Amino acid sequence: MLKRFLPAALLLLSLGASAATTPAVVLHGQRFSTEFATTDDSRAMGFMNRASIPGDHSMLFVFADDEPRSFWMKNTLVPLDILYFDKSLKLVAMQLNAQPCKADPCSVYPSGDKNARYVLELNGGVAGKLGLKLGDALKVDGDWGKVQ
């Protein structure tokens, strides 16, 4: 009998370990798998040239310093919510439903005069559905130690 349940138990354990180590962020109790953009190249590429982004997916841009940030949507094919967080992971600015840009000049989506160390991109409209407001906290799960 043990032989029959052992493969299923091992599969469940491996799935649990995989989910625990998959990088993710949590906003208002909603979990989003995430990609970390930590280098100049990965931050410049972002979600460019992707025809779609899964609804439960995000990209977290990580910077070494705190300053006002600006993003644009050149070669980005889907609308995005751009959320700016300070060094304490508190939401300081939002640019909601930023539209794709197919040709220059592209609109710029700034954090205004607010310093941001982290910027999270989600599918356009998600922030509104979650009811996000300034001051909300971002929680980061997964292998966060390598990107801080």
Specify the pLDDT at position 107. Answer: 95
Question: How far apart (Å, rounded) are the C-alpha atoms in residues 58 and 143?
Answer: 15
**Residue % of the chain over a pLDDT of 90:** 78
CA 126 to chain centre: 11
The string of pLDDT tens digits covering residues 78-107 is 999 999 999 999 999 999 999 999 889 999
At 34-84, the pLDDT tens digits run 999 999 999 999 999 999 999 999 999 999 999 999 999 999 999 999 999
Whether 117 has a pLDDT exceeding 90, the answer reads: yes
Start-to-end CA span in the chain (Å): 47
Q: Tell me how far CA of residue 48 lies from CA of 73, 78, 100, 140, 145, in angstroms.
A: 8, 9, 10, 23, 26
Q: From the CB of residue 125, how many other CB atoms can be counted at a distance below 10 Å?
A: 14
* Domains of the chain listed by start with CATH number: 23-143 (2.60.120.1140)
Question: What pLDDT is recorded for position 102?
Answer: 85
Answer whether residue 145 shows pLDDT above 80: no
